[in-house]
Amino acid sequence: MDPRLPRLPRLQRKLAQVPFSPLRSHSFGEEKHRFRLGPTISPAMLDAFETDHGVVLPDPYRDFLTFLGATGASPFYGLLP
């Protein structure tokens, strides 16, 4: 097993706690996205993206995209799909 992968469930748990944190600030649009990440993408799709764009994504970012979610949780004034 890849040594980076055990970190992903911990990160997933932390992200799930964000909406319930008593000291967090509130952001525009959170009632819509509810701090949920978008669907994951396949390693084959990442390989195709890297080939098409002539880049190599860092392994931790690839892990995030393939195991947690490929889009952020902020459709307004933030990361868009």
| Ramachandran region, residue 77 (left: φ > 0; alpha: ψ -120 to 50; beta: rest) | left
- The Cα 36–Cα 19 span in angstroms is 10
With a CB cutoff of 8 Å and minimum separation 6, the contacts of 57 are 46, 49, 50, 65
Q: pTM for this one?
A: 0.65
Q: What is the pLDDT of residues 18-61, one digit of tens each?
A: 666 676 666 655 655 566 777 899 999 999 999 999 999 999 88
Q: What is the pLDDT of residue 56?
A: 96
Amino acid at the residue 22: P
Nearest to 4 by CA among 63, 70, 45: 63
